[in-house]
A and B are shown apart, each in its own frame.
Chain A
Amino acid sequence: MRRVRSGSDPVATLSALENSGFGIWVRESGSLWSYPTIIFLHSLGLSFLVGMNVALNLRLLGVAPGLPLAPLDKLFPIMWFGFWMNAVSGVALLIADATTMMISPVFWVKMTCIAAAVVIMVLIKRQLFSTPRVEVTPLPLRAKFLAASSLLLWAGAITAGRLTAYLGPVAGLKGR
């Protein structure tokens, strides 16, 4: 005789999340304020998080060399705002499709890209903006390496994110 404890069964936990009141509301309520608004906010956060990273990285790679680096420190709060906006909206979207997303390899590729890109964002902040040597020219090769890696990882995150709607297990309607 096997006793099944739902708490130790990950699939049951994911299914419970997906079928919670909140999960059903996000996925099935048809309200403009549920899935449509949440996914719009997810795009908005993406634009600011990735967009400002791209601007900073282009500068580090040598585009717009006349642009002083020190004031670009102010981009970090905008990036973190975008990050938290997407962490919150992302968790809401994940709850709504928990059983599909958590077994989707391409979703985990996305998460890995984001984790690595955020680590690089923190490294850029620490290595280039936390010292008074911020205006040092030319920038060390290390800075260009970080910038290039960041661009690649964000492109990877966007690609994998878009492909969760097409590759592997897909929740709801393909391509939405």
Chain B
Amino acid sequence: MPLVESFSRWIHGTRLSWAVRGGYPWLWPACETLHFVGMALLIGIVGLLDLRMLGFVKGLPLKPLNRLLPWGIFGFAINLTTGFMFFAGDPFQYIHNAVFWFKMAFVVLAGINVGAFYLTGISRRVDSVQGGEDVPTSAKLVAATSLFLWIGVMYWGRMLPFLGDAF
């Protein structure tokens, strides 16, 4: 993929890359810490919505529960930002690492899953579900897919140093 190669070469030459790579030695550990905080936010809020749709914590009505969602999106934004900084810092350890591309593929699939949830109208039908009620089967399928994919993203991320040789 020549485009990925040339993008990596370009970003490796930026000051951001230098800073993350060790120009500021505290920056990489700080990003790592934030990456885990973002993960807890994302899995906490999105995972709770998924578990509710799957029938755990069933007493919760869906509409008010959705008010927590911005915090899950905030967690994702933190991880997109810090993740991009890791990439900028050392792009070549990632682009030749299959595990990194599995992780990215799972993130994209999770995005498609969210898109399907909102664009097919499933989200509107879920919105009116009260405490104690079941969501439609289509929504359960979306929730199970979401849980699987986000846990998968975490798995591939954790495997970067072991199945590949990035960190």
Task: Give the B-binding residues of A (Cβ under 8 A).
Answer: 32, 35-36, 39-40, 43-44, 46-48, 50-55, 58-59, 63-68, 70-72, 74-75, 78, 154-155, 158-159, 161-163, 165-167, 173, 175-176
**Which of B29, B48, B56, B68 makes the CB contact (< 8 A) with A63?**
B68
Whole-angstrom distance between the Cβ of B12 and the nearest chain A Cβ: 19
Task: Give the A-binding residues of B (Cβ under 8 A).
Answer: 28-29, 32-33, 36-37, 39-45, 47-48, 51, 56-61, 63-65, 67-68, 71, 131, 151, 154-155, 157-159, 161-163, 167
The answer to whether B28 touches A175 (Cβ under 8 A) is yes
Nearest residue in B to A67 (C-beta to C-beta)?
Answer: B64
Question: Chain A residues near B163 (CB, 8 Å)?
Answer: 32, 36
The A interface, classified by DSSP as helix, strand, loop or mixed, is: helix
Question: Chain B residues near A68 (CB, 8 Å)?
Answer: 59-61, 64, 131
**Which of A54, A63, A78 makes the CB contact (< 8 A) with B41?**
A54
**Within the assembled complex, what's the spacing in Å between the Cα atoms of A175 and B47?**
27
Q: Across the A-B interface, how many residue pairs have beta carbons closer than 8 Å? A: 125
Question: Chain B residues near A67 (CB, 8 Å)?
Answer: 60-61, 64-65, 67-68
Question: Chain B residues near A43 (CB, 8 Å)?
Answer: 36, 39, 154, 157-158
**Which of A55, A162, A165 makes the CB contact (< 8 A) with B45?**
A55
The answer to whether B57 touches A175 (Cβ under 8 A) is no
**Can you give 18 A-B contacts (C-beta < 8 A)?**
A36-B158, A40-B155, A44-B154, A47-B44, A51-B41, A59-B68, A64-B68, A66-B61, A66-B64, A67-B65, A68-B59, A68-B61, A74-B56, A75-B48, A78-B51, A155-B37, A175-B32, A175-B167
**Within the assembled complex, what's the spacing in Å between the Cα atoms of A40 and B60?**
30
Question: Chain B residues near A159 (CB, 8 Å)?
Answer: 33, 37
The answer to whether B57 touches A74 (Cβ under 8 A) is yes
The answer to whether A36 touches B159 (Cβ under 8 A) is yes
